[in-house]
Structure 1
Amino acid sequence: MPETVKETETEKGRGDRQQRHQGSQSSPNVVSLISQFADDNLTLVRNISTGLAVAGVILIARSIKLITKFQAASEIPARFIEKNVSLRGKVHSITDKGLEVEHIPIHLPVISPLLTKHSGVCSSPLLVHLVGVEMTPEGKEWLQKNLLPAQTVWLKLISREDDILHCLVSQSRGLLWSCCINENILRLGLARTTPITGVQPDSRLYWQLHRRLHRAEVKAERKGLGLWKEDSLWERASKSIRDNALVRLMRRLFKRT
């Protein structure tokens, strides 16, 4: 009996080894078949890989609106406003309401044309207001001279009100330096600071912007520029004489004679 059991166990072990051997042979066979197929159809495999990669980029671009061209403030996602995303644009014109800027999205070769919604349609510019700034007529003239049509600017989104974007507008001056138009126009005394529209007064962003713009306005006031320019002594004396009642009376008498 023991010998019979022993022989049975031996045969069972031999069978297990054969099954493992057959399994180990089948695995390399499958791998070799896949490798052979890939070698024989290398172009197809590459095309599939490229297609999957392009599809992935398109899905990502669509989800984050990476290459979408915005033609109205309402088209910009709320998360862009919340995170104060910067958009690139091209100046169209300067109006009494603010700047008209055409949005320039990020361009990706091949992919951008596939996702362009407004292909062949006339572009509509975004209406942009300099946040925290109340412009004077002189300020508008300065903008018209310094922000020429087709000039590139950066719009840092602060808030949105109806179809108007309230932004910090920057102008590139070389590779590593840019000029904030909001600060510059205040620094020249061509505008006044106003409350930051669409931002909570007790928020950190509000006070950062307020401090930044107020500092620029104070510089103009100290230097007596633009709105803060004081008349000279001769100008003040001449004005007081012209406004004097006796002088006005004498002028009327001379006119009658």
Structure 2
Amino acid sequence: MPDEQSARLDKVDEKDKNLITVLSKFADDNLTIVRSVSTGLAVVGIVILGRSVKLITKFNAASEIPTRFIERNVSLHGRVCRLTEEGLEVEHIPIHIPVLSRLLVKCQTGATPLQVRLAGVELTAEGRDWLRRQLEPAETPPTVWLKLIRREGDTLHCLVSKGRGLMLSTCLNDELLRQGLARSAPILGLDHRSRVYWRLHKRLMKAELQAERKGRGLWKEESSSLWERVSLTLRESFVGKIWKRLLSFTSRTKDQ
């Protein structure tokens, strides 16, 4: 019995070896076909992956952006088209993959800009003028990064950043508040218990507090009116009345 089992195993091994030999010989004889098939499968895999994660999809409306992008606060690159009363119109610039981009991008007849508002910021007229100077196109339209915070209908609420060279950038939301050219606004639609809400709220309040302490922009007027109110209160207070009497007594003493 053991001899019979050994003989059977030898036959099986021989068949496996023959099969491997045949496959190897076929691969050697048809190397070009094998490589072409492998390349084709790789391309198909990348195409499927690219479409599934929206790597290079050009978004023409807020509704086209996947919900997971909003939840994960993904940053999108875009070209500023124009300023509006509420914020910006930005043409989305998708990630470009040489050669494969043409395979992955769906045919599009035109581009529609995204409606963008600066999250947590209430713009003033001076703030709009400042934004216009920052984003005024010279030869080519300026580009910005949009960090997605939330979606409200056809509008995206974002942290908008403008590059200033050498991998540095300026967050326009922060800078507007820091210069006193805007007020912080409630971030509606976000869970007040979420980490994103509190991080953003703390960040914007810190920028606004800097403007208030230094008396910039809006807070320059506020600080002067505050000083006037404090001065008036002191004049009408008990200490103020004593000070007036002391001055009056001093002047009468000099006259005598």
Shorter chain as denominator, the TM-score bin is 0.7 to 0.9
Equivalence for 1:191? 182
Cα offset for 1:202?
A: 3.0
Cα root mean square deviation, aligned: 2.2
Match for residue 149 of structure 2 among 150, 158, 171: 158
* Residue 192 of structure 2 corresponds to residue 204 of structure 1: no
Residues 98-137 of structure 1 deviation map (CA, whole Å, 9 limit, x = unaligned)? 1111111111223221232243x22111010000001111
Alignment check: 8 A CA contact 1:91 1:153 kept: yes
Q: Is the 8 A contact 2:180 2:208 kept in 1?
A: yes
1:123 maps to 2:107: no
**Alpha-carbon distance between aligned partners in 2 of 1:232 and 1:189, rounded to the nearest angstrom:** 12
Question: Amino acid of the residue matched to residue 192 of structure 1?
Answer: R
Query: Does the 8 Å contact 2:215/2:223 carry over to 1?
Result: no
Q: 1:134 aligns with which of 122, 127, 137?
A: 122
Q: How does 1:139-150 map to 2 (within 5 A)?
A: 139-149=127-137, 150=141
2:161 partner SS: strand
Match of 1:174 among 165, 181, 185: 165
- How big is the shift at 1:83? 1.1
> Aligned to 1:42, which of 25, 31, 49?
31
Which structure 1 segments of 5+ residues have no match?
1-11, 238-257
* Counterparts of 1:231 and 1:65, CA distance in 2: 48
- Supply the distance in 1 between the matched residues of 2:175 and 2:165 (Cα, whole angstroms): 17
The answer for the alignment partner of 1:68 in structure 2 is 57
Q: 1:226 corresponds to which residue?
A: 217
The CA deviation at 1:230 is 3.9
TM-superposed CA distance for 1:16, in Å, is 4.5
Instruction: Find the aligned partners of 2:123 and 2:167 in 1 and give their Cα distance.
Output: 28
Q: CA deviation at 1:59?
A: 1.2
Find the partner of 1:97 among 86, 93, 99.
86
Q: TM-score, normalised by structure 2?
A: 0.80
Separation (CA, whole Å) in 2 of partners of 1:17 and 1:208: 71
In structure 2, C-alpha distance between the alignment counterparts of 1:178 and 1:188, rounded to whole Å: 17
Which structure has the larger Rg over C-alpha atoms?
A: 1
User: Does the Cα contact within 8 Å between 1:168 and 1:182 map onto a contact in 2?
Assistant: yes
Matched residue, 1:31:
20
- Which residue identity lines up with residue 166 of structure 1 in the other structure? H
Q: Distance in 1 between matches of 2:184 and 2:209?
A: 10
Counterpart-to-counterpart distance in 2, 1:197 and 1:48 = 52
Name the amino acid aligned to 2:124: T
SS in 1 for 2:77: strand
Tell me the amino acid that sits aligned with residue 179 of structure 2. Answer: L
TM-score (norm 1): 0.80
Contact between 1:131 and 1:197, CA under 8 Å: does it hold in 2?
no
Q: Cα deviations across residues 57-78 of structure 1 (Å, max 9, x unaligned)? A: 1111111111111000011111
Shift of 1:231: 9.4
CA shift at 1:15, angstroms?
A: 4.8
The residue type paired with residue 213 of structure 2 is R
Q: Percent identity?
A: 56
Match of 1:241 in 2: none
CA distance in 1, matches of 2:99, 2:129: 41
5+ long unaligned stretches in structure 2: 229-256
Matched, 1:216 2:198: no
Tell me the distance in 2 between the aligned counterparts of 1:231 and 1:67: 48
User: Cα distance 1:191–1:59, how it changes in 2: closer, same or farther (>3 A)?
Assistant: same
